[in-house]
A and B are shown apart, each in its own frame.
Chain A
Amino acid sequence: MASSSPPPPPPTLEDEISHLQTKINKLNSLLSLQTSTLLAAPSTRQLIPASSPLLTVSDSQLSHNQSSLYRSCATLTLFRARDPDPNAVDSGSILGLRIEVLSRTKFLRPYYVLLNRPYPSSKHLRVHRHTIPPCIPLSGLAGRYLPAPGKGKKKSQQDLARFAKTLRREVNRYHHRMGVVADLRKAAGLTGRDKEERGGHGDGDGDGELVDISPADAEVKTVTFEWADGRLGRLVMGDDGEVLKLVVLGGDAGGRDRETGRELLGGAVNVEEVIRRLASGA
């Protein structure tokens, strides 16, 4: 078809094919989106006859919508899974815990904790597999809220709800702390584009400028500030984002530089206030 009227810059056949391919993909995804919307609509359900196989598809679509709703609103959901290992305990039954994390207006891949029941004489759960990063003290939480069944009279109680709640809070706090560090960088003009702009209008605008802000430990509770003249600051964040400690070292005299520390903090007790100060200052 295309060969009948060759345009001036002749597009190669490969270009055309890839272009059409992306178009097909786009239309396909649009089609499936429309299908899912139509299938879940109450008016469509009334039209589907009871004997139609469409009804089962519609049912599964509805249940998917409901679970999505719970996932996005409650952000802590349970599901069932199966262990493919033929020797798995409890015939491979797995209880999954799904923790959603919302970061920068997007849902990240959820974190999973998969629990099973390995104890022959009790219904106690145990963490079987998980995808929680090691900077979150999962083992400590499991030790506190999901202890192994005690021997004899010493019975131990498990509290799955508290375990899940605390874990979810820890995961969210971790992501918030990471977000805070990103915001600090942004407020100080250290993100990619801002930096280039600043580099454009002169390098020599003072040694008092921040050149780097980065997390200094695994839990992102400590943040390192670096100034152009070699001063180095450490800020320790609390669980709720409060500033616990701040120290700045270096400067002209060497040793501790309380002046810069005060300047950076300006009476702020919360990291968000530091971000606001940095943003207004820059």
Chain B
Amino acid sequence: MSRISVPTTARLPSTLRVEPSNPTVIKILNRLSRPSLISLALEWLDENHLPLAVPYLRDDEDDGQDENDFYPPETSPGALQEEYRSLQARKGSKREIIDRITTGDWRHGLTLYQLAMADLQYLYDHPTSQKWSAYRIVPLKPASDPEGDENPQEVDRTSLVVPPFHPSVFLKSLQTQILPDIKAHYQFDRHKTLALMILRIFILDSPYSTNLSLSSSFDSSRTFYIAFPDASPHVYLSRPQTVGAASAAASSGGEAKSLRNLIVEGIPKALSRPRQRFALTSTSLTTRNLEEMLERRGSARTNSAGGGWSVYADEKVKESPLQTVLPSPPLSEDGVGKEGGKRRRGKEEAGLITQAERKVEQAMKRARLVAKARFGETAKVGDGKGVERVDLVLEDKFPDFSDDEDEAAGEGNREGRLRRREPGGPSVRGGGVEMDLDRMDVDEQDDQREMDAVGSDWRPFVRLTFHGSHVFAGIRQLVECGVIDGEKMPGWMTGEEGVTMGAVRNGRIRGHKGSGL
């Protein structure tokens, strides 16, 4: 341990050790299961990680072994690896492994690197433990006045720049953005199954990068993650989790949040380069499911083709212009359907199916086809790509039952209806919702115009929250069962916009979220 603590701007070194008795260490290790702990220990002893996770070893010359030592130290990492392999084969408790790690093989402390690996292991074991929000990296217009800060930076809508991302450069410039009075430890890791790069940031509220600053209990809620999807101009940030007692969360939670905000503000600056500035904008998608995140904000074709539009993005469909065979229109009955039809007709002739049963069956079939048309290949129960919460604010006018026939005439008349209403009038805008909307809105201009035209109607405050393991798959099932009329169902119920927060106006989510532009 160095004798003098000098505040520096450097990041926390990965080799810095934390006392094993520290409650945070115990908490991090306790979260893991026994197999994960053993594989983690084996990984630490792997030669790639060994320099940053040196175990407590015995010198060869020094034979004076402590009789009371419950976990006598080994002589080499190889022998230790053997030890853990044998533990892997044996059955036992998790407690045993944690004891071995904290009071035996790493009794002199676990490095920050090891703690980071343990935390990331927990993330892989429990993929839904973090809540992620997707942000889009957008290029900014070069400042017209480089000296003055008064003009807010504008998003450059005509820029053709795809933001580049280089992990080491990013980390270096992120470090320079962080003030010297807090310290952070960073660790990059490649996600094991998904096309993601995960950066774990651990923030310590101390200007010193010595062991002493780590000796007191620190809060694990000051850890957060940034995920960088491959080849996609998006960043996923994990939400800070409120852990601990409610009273403690009130004070330290807010503090952790502000520390996190410091880093979040640094991210776009770290991505920027001279004469090329970027900013982060929210894309209104928050979910625990990283797979869904990659589907909606990833690098593939599916980003802006959700719901029924997914038929255009499905790469499995062969659609070569050299194919001369007439394509069967989508949703037509294929061979299996025909056979089923034949069988049914046979049954019908035999008098096994009554007229009513057939009607029900036809209705069911139609409902399934409609569901297929509206949802495409998305929102299926077992696909593992579900959002768990969708919040919507309905801003539509209260249905006017007096002009029913007008409604029935369909959307084509919408413009006509707008014109019929008395124009202008001060638009009545509510408080809380509007603040929400202002925050989310990206396309103020044209929405504004629509608002002015229809502003004077009574619009009740309706807030909808869908909650479940896979929200849109649930809605799809309801359509398939015929509970929801799939043909009259508004588009935002199919999840094609790819947002989990939004405001609905004129039956559509405001701001043209689905195009991803």
Seen from chain A, the residues whose Cβ lies within 8 Å of a Cβ on chain B are 29, 32-33, 35-37, 40, 57, 60-61, 64-65, 67-69, 71-72, 83-89, 91-92, 100, 106-107, 109-112, 114, 118-120, 126-144, 148, 151, 217-219, 222
Contacts and interface: CB of A to CB of B under 8 A. Distances in A.
A217 B165 CA distance: 7
A129 B491 CA distance: 13
A87 B157 CA distance: 28
Given A33-B324, A71-B321, A134 B233 contact: yes
Contacts of B327: 64
B162 A130 contact: no
Given A33-B324, A140-B161, A148-B445, A91 B305 contact: no
Contact of A131 (B160, B232, B304, B418): B304
Contacts of B506: 87
A119 B449 CA distance: 10
6 contacts: A88-B491, A107-B320, A109-B315, A118-B512, A128-B515, A129-B306
Contacts of B306: 129
Give the bracket for the number of chain B residues in contact with chain A: 35 or more
B515 A109 contact: no
A120 B321 contact: no
B164 A84 contact: no
Interface in B450-486: 450, 453
Interface in B310-358: 312-315, 317-327
B301 A131 contact: yes
Interface in B97-150: none
A136 B162 CA distance: 7
B325 A36 contact: yes
A29 B326 CA distance: 11
Given A130-B305, A139-B157, A143-B158, A218 B164 contact: yes
B446 A64 contact: no
Given A84-B374, A86-B411, A119 B233 contact: no
Nearest to B309: A129
A90 B445 CA distance: 19
Given A84-B374, A86-B490, A87-B490, A106 B320 contact: yes
A133 B324 contact: no
Contacts of B412: 91
Contacts, number: 170
Contact of A111 (B301, B325, B491): B301
A120 B323 contact: no
Contact of B487 (A35, A86, A129): A86
A88 B411 contact: yes
Contacts of A133: 231, 299-301, 303
Contact of B515 (A100, A126, A144): A126
B415 interface: yes
A60 B481 CA distance: 35
B326 A130 contact: no
Contacts of A61: 326
B406 to A, nearest CB: 14
Nearest to A222: B164
B324 A129 contact: no
Contact of A140 (B158, B320, B488, B512): B158
A84 B453 CA distance: 26
B207 interface: no
Nearest to A61: B326
Contacts of A29: 325
Interface in B143-196: 156-162, 164-165
A51 to B, nearest CB: 22
A268 to B, nearest CB: 24
B384 interface: no
B231 A218 contact: yes
Contacts of B232: 134-135, 218
Q: Which of B301, B321, B491 is packed against the most chain A CB atoms within 10 Å?
A: B321
A111 B327 CA distance: 18
Nearest to B489: A86
B159 A137 contact: yes
B51 interface: no
Interface in B436-452: 445-446, 449-450
